[in-house]
Amino acid sequence: MRVRGLAMGGREVAISAVFTGLLVVSILSLPSLLLTTGRFSRGAGPAADWPFLQQLGEKAYPASFAYLISASTGDAERAARLLGALYHPANSYLVHLDQEAPAEEHRRLAELVSGQPVYGRVGNVWIVGRPNLVTYRGPTMLSTTLHAMAVLLRLGRPWDWFVNLSASDYPLVTQDDLMEAFSRLPRDLNFIQHTSHLGWKIKKRARPVILDTALYEADRSELLRPSPNITINRRGLPTAFKLFTGSAWTMLSRRFVEYCVMGWDNLPRTLLLYHANLVSSPEFYFQTVACNSAEFRNATVNSDLHFIRWDNPPKQHPLYLRPADYRRMVLSSAAFARKFKHADPVLDRIDREILKRQPPPRDDGDNGSSVDAQQGRFFSYAGWCSEGEVGLCSDPRELPGSRKGAIKAGAGARRLRVMLNKLLSARNFRRQQCRKRKRTPR
């Protein structure tokens, strides 16, 4: 990704306004489902092989989640592995592989997903068939997330929270642990790490004006600064609303997702227009919408539920997690962690000791290996498909029909409840919620 300078004039200002309008129209028009559906199997449907799935629409499980897994070039295997680790028939999954990824990698991802018969029989996994061109730190990252929200709402499946993850994330609890821990929470809570103390982000993020070429060019994702002049290229901080920033990784309630997509008042649209020219808009938008909304500011929990390790002082990217970080990850009680390198040994340990799934074999360069071998044969330990200490989930015809709603939570649920109780305690919940600091002089 490059940031270039251009001469700034009236024409460029007009172009900026047009592109901003195009971004908003593209999101709010709720495009049709351009998806590759997860129903790849031509065998009998869920009712024949999994009788317990007949009543999933009746809210058989205490909580359910809708996941967006975002991937870029080189991430097909990582995205498929993450999908297997997160999978549960009560949830919904949408996988987005950046348009810039080679066609061969898009085919590879489709093979990895279609090669798992469970996804096809349950029909709750989708791949975006016409993916978006995404610019790192650009508003197209935000538009992709909003697009995914719109799609997951339109699919009509029941879910309580929307979770956005990248292919470099990984769960630290099973889905049964997550469902058990969240079953006791109000469904309107939004987990958004946020602060109004912008610090260095004022100069580097909030005030510079940028254009994202992925909004208007077919094959280029790049951030442009309309002027190399540092004075012309900066704007003042907003006075009509308070700007908040934080983590781009969130867990959002279904009602808040509906509000961001459909917006029954004008706040989400107004803020979307503002963020179309903001650097790293995913680190600002949902924080600013939630904390400026009278309806949602009091339901915002100041956490992204992630374990992330940073340099000191923090740099642009977090540090990669290694086997030496395993103990700290577990003790953090977080639900997810990031970033991981592809096939790092610590992922195998998480699979083995926390998720109780069989780690996929190492890639030895044999392109003829099976899809199941690359993805891992077993899902995380869960009541819907496990016997004893071993998950037997690969063949749906092996499963009895009495598992509907069965939850087998373990130590991960207890750890996560400790974290949630601390976040929602009287001492922390209100005191860390959408606090407004004094505005920094311009």
- Per-residue model confidence (pLDDT) at position 85: 95
Cα–Cα distance, 170 to 40 (Å, whole number): 25
Class of residue 427 by CB neighbours under 10 A (exposed 0-12, middle 13-18, buried 19+):
exposed
The two most distant CA atoms of the chain are separated, in Å, by 69
Q: Phi-psi category of 81—alpha, beta or left, where left has phi over 0 and alpha has psi -120 to 50?
A: alpha
Could you tell me which of 61, 132, 60, 63 has the C-alpha nearest to residue 94?
132
- Residue 94 contacts residue 67 (beta carbons within 8 Å): yes
Could you tell me which of 149, 76, 140, 382 has the C-alpha nearest to residue 272?
140
Cα–Cα distance, 170 to 320 (Å, whole number): 12
- Per-residue model confidence (pLDDT) at position 442: 44
- Per-residue model confidence (pLDDT) at position 300: 96
Alpha helix segments (H runs only) across 336-410: 345-350, 371-375
Phi, psi dihedral angles at 348 (to 5 degrees): -65, -40
- At 382, the amino acid letter reads A
- Per-residue model confidence (pLDDT) at position 15: 45
Could you tell me which of 332, 356, 359 has the C-alpha nearest to residue 344?
359
- Go through 243-254 and write b for each residue having 16 or more CB atoms within 10 A of its CB, e for each that does not: bbbbbbbbbbbb
- Residue 302 contacts residue 194 (beta carbons within 8 Å): yes
Query: Measuring CA to CA, how many Å separate 22 from each of 9, 15, 29, 134, 194?
Result: 20, 11, 11, 15, 28
> Any bridge partners for residue 70, and if so which?
96, 166
- Per-residue model confidence (pLDDT) at position 217: 79
Instruction: Look at strands 245-246 and 125-128 and give their pairing.
Output: unpaired
Residues 6+ apart with CB under 8 A from 200: none
- Per-residue model confidence (pLDDT) at position 48: 43
Can you spell out the DSSP letters for 99-141?
TTS-HHHHHHHHHHHHT-HHHHHHT-EEEESSPPP--TTSHHH
Mean pLDDT, consecutive 10-residue stretches, the chain (442 aa), reads: 41 47 46 41 39 50 96 94 94 95 95 90 92 84 94 95 97 97 96 93 87 78 66 79 95 97 93 90 95 95 94 77 96 96 94 84 45 53 70 51 74 96 92 73 44
- Give the three-state DSSP class for 307: strand
Cis omega (within 30 of 0) for bond into 171: no
Residues 6+ apart with CB under 8 A from 406: 383, 384
Give the pair of three-digit tokens for residue 74.
């080189």
pTM of the model: 0.83
Whose tokens are 């956490």? That residue is 303
